[in-house]
Amino acid sequence: QVQLIESGGGLVQAGGSLTLSCTDSGRTFNFFTKAWFRQAPGKEREFVARISPDGGSARYSDSATGRFTISRDNAKNTVLLQMNSLNPDDTAVYYCAAGSWSTAAEEYRYWGQGTQVTVSS
**Residue-wise pLDDT tens digits, 61-97:** 999 999 999 999 999 999 999 999 999 999 999 999 9
How far is Cα 48 from Cα 96, in angstroms, rounded to an integer? Answer: 10
Specify whether the CB–CB gap between 36 and 48 falls below 8 A: yes
Question: What is the percent of the chain where pLDDT is above 90?
Answer: 92
pLDDT of residue 108: 94
Pairing of strands 115-120, 10-13: parallel
pLDDT of residue 53: 96
pLDDT of residue 80: 98
What value does the mean pLDDT take over residues 4-27? 96
DSSP classification of residue 105:
G
**Residue 84 backbone dihedrals phi, psi, to 5 degrees:** -120, 165
